[in-house]
Structure 1
Amino acid sequence: MRPTPSIPLPYAGSLTDVAGIEVGHFSDTRRPTGCTVILAREGAVGGVDVRGAAPGTRETDLLSPGNLVQQVHGVMLAGGSAWGLAAAEGAMRWLEERGVGMDVRFGTLPIVPAAVLFDLPMGDARIRPDAEAGYAACEAASKQAPAEGNVGAGSGALVGKLFGVDRAMKGGIGCASVTVGGVTVGALIACNALGDVIDPDTAQVVAGARTADGRSLLDTRRALMRGDVPKPLLAGTNTTLGVVATDAVLTKVQANRLAMAAHDGLARSINPVHTMSDGDTLFALATCRVPLEGNAPGMTVLSAMAAEVVAIATVRAVRAARSVTLGDWHIPSAVEFAGA
């Protein structure tokens, strides 16, 4: 496994710009896979929206507005397909050891929803994130801006697989944040999309399916519209995951609406998105530090902010990624294709 160097991107903000949020990565050195934990030790009102048709998730039902639990203490994003859900157990153990969680009389119970992406083509598929990996990600968590690119849950991510994984490009992790009227919204995205990643400002493909000779970007949308036939797909072999967080005071209903609006950012930056072979899932966390009163932005503005940071973070995920060579298989990055 030989990754190429990446070129640092200008800082565009981070999920950790939201007060009360920490992020930690675990990247497995044995093959490209890993997990990323988002911690809210003081608790955060949570929401989720699952748009892909092939999700791999844990404890997402409890985030429904009609269900009892009001706060979560972390979110785990992991590679390894459904096996990777075990990483959440490590986060629960780490938080319990520190007395973080919900008092259930017989113990302190950390609430850690999780979602996974499919990165099994990258190396030995028997190696996937487990409870120890999740624990290690928590050990690495901090309030500093997390690394982007080939790290954590984005370690084995690929994009542009509709015409075969051999014509794909490297995906990864990206972050962004924006502050309006004293309220901050941040996003972290692990992009492992079936479709291409698009720069929403230029409508140009940044990374995705390549032509048969591997030397140029195909443009999946146009290829499909002219009748090119995609390769048969195994459901769930892709998926873009992410967390949107804000320091605004939100209810559980509002947190779920924020997660829904955040998917607009994926729709701007991935094409096609939310497919039958993706499990696209976005979580929303509100640390409730800033009341929505006075001149503070309301839900309409917060929703626009969420979509914006998700779109930016998705593009950064591929621009921060590095090319990887596994034996005879070379997976190029957006930087390599740009000639940087």
Structure 2
Amino acid sequence: MTPGPRNLITDIPGLRVGNAQDVALKSGTTVLTADQAFTASVHVMGGAPGTRETDLLAPDKSVSKVDAITLSGGSAFGLDACSGVSDALRAQGRGYPVGDTVVPIVPGAILFDLLNGGSKDWDENPYRALGRSAFDSAGDDFALGTAGAGTGALTSRHKGGLGSASLVLDNGITVGALVAANPLGSVTSPGDRHFWAAPFEYDGEFGGLGPDSCAGLGAPAPSLKALAMGLAEPDKGNTTIAIVATDAALSKPQCQRLAVAAHDGIARAILPAHTPGDGDLVFGVSTGARPVAAETELGLIGHAASVCLARAIARAIYLATPEVGDILPCWSAPHDIS
């Protein structure tokens, strides 16, 4: 397995990603879409998810393909980003056919970034416009770190962010991940330098420092995030939301299994993970372009998705950049809070 040419989820042919963000708001939206509807499902392992249209993605529900998936900041307000994406799709005549009309299918998930130092005194919910802008900007290349849905994300100890990574398997199948990392837990071992995901790193993509050589690392470091947000309890205001995708031809139930397997990547990159105070959620996506030769390949595809997601989480934090008014430092500039 080796990373694709961009090391982005858009190494999967046909997928496009767009970002939109507001620096003053310290929040934003990210949209995954394609020229054709794609198969999707979802799996939730956190205790505090915020979602739209995810019930429809259960294997037994009627619609198997979607037109876009939205990841957004803004907590419950951010779910309105899906409406902006739906507006754009409707203008293109895209969606699920019902009689003489079409209904765009745009599942979405949100993270909490309302107490991160940004200006939240809007009169009109800004996320519908951010969703439309993110969709309109979708392409093969897109920014990581402090961008899109990761703009205002925070981890336990550092700024969070938007991350992506890919792998091309020996059989030619491509797997990729896209994540907005805003967890309760930490992405680094005590000392704040070595990423938990370090064993899965390729080519120094998040610093090349390698794993922490110490033992007894199970106890997480105290959270700086809750203190910075003025919260008495750290189990408020978190969530890691992600999409894993492949060009392997997977059914809707198989996409759900892909999402289940990918959650291992969250657990490998964040400590603790899947807590009652996180809304950890992974969408599983297939473009269906490459046939799967044998059932045994499905396990490898799921494993690759988990590795991509772990790497994408570390890349999100590694590539985050300082902005005026930040309440937590970046990994790359640990003492620079303006």
Q: Which residue of 1 aligns with 2:174?
A: 184
Structure 2 residue runs without a partner (length 5+): 188-194, 201-205, 208-216, 223-230
The DSSP-based 3-state class of the residue aligned with 1:299 is: helix
- 1:338 deviates by 9.6
Query: Aligned partners of 2:240 and 2:220: how far apart in 1?
Result: 22
Q: Is the 8 A contact 1:80 1:120 kept in 2?
A: yes
1:93 maps to a residue whose letter is D
2:150 maps to a residue whose letter is G
1:90 partnered with 2:89: no
Structure 1 residue runs without a partner (length 5+): 1-9, 161-167, 208-218, 225-230
Deviations 1:235-285 (A, max 9, x none): 551101111111010011100000000000000000011111111111011
Q: Which residue of 2 aligns with 1:5?
A: none
The DSSP-based 3-state class of the residue aligned with 1:317 is: helix
The DSSP-based 3-state class of the residue aligned with 1:285 is: strand
Query: Aligned partners of 1:110 and 1:266: how far apart in 2?
Result: 30
Q: Which residue of 1 aligns with 2:319?
A: 320
Q: Which residue of 2 aligns with 1:216?
A: none
2:155 maps to a residue whose letter is V
- 1:147 deviates by 0.6
Q: Which residue of 2 aligns with 1:227?
A: none
Query: Aligned partners of 2:95 and 2:273: how far apart in 1?
Result: 35
Counterpart among 104, 107, 130 of residue 110 in structure 1:
104
Counterpart among 26, 39, 42 of residue 45 in structure 1:
39
- 1:41 deviates by 3.0
- 1:298 deviates by 1.3
Q: Which residue of 2 aligns with 1:283?
A: 283
Q: Which residue of 1 aligns with 2:210?
A: none
1:174 partnered with 2:174: no
Q: Which residue of 2 aligns with 1:152?
A: 148
TM-score (norm 2): 0.83
- 1:331 deviates by 2.4
Query: Aligned partners of 1:221 and 1:57: how far apart in 2?
Result: 31
The 5 A counterparts of 1:23-172 are 23-122=17-116, 123-127=118-122, 129-142=126-139, 144-160=140-156, 168-172=157-161
- 1:318 deviates by 0.2
- 1:101 deviates by 1.3
Query: Aligned partners of 1:196 and 1:11: how far apart in 2?
Result: 29
Runs of 4+ in 1 over 3 A off after TM superposition: 126-129
Equivalent pairs, count: 302
State, as a whole percentage, how many aligned pairs show the same letter.
39
Q: Which residue of 1 aligns with 2:197?
A: 200
The DSSP-based 3-state class of the residue aligned with 1:292 is: coil
Q: Is the 8 A contact 1:324 1:330 kept in 2?
A: no
Query: Aligned partners of 1:60 and 1:98: how far apart in 2?
Result: 23
1:305 maps to a residue whose letter is A
Q: Is the 8 A contact 2:39 2:66 kept in 1?
A: yes
- Give me the CA root mean square deviation: 2.6
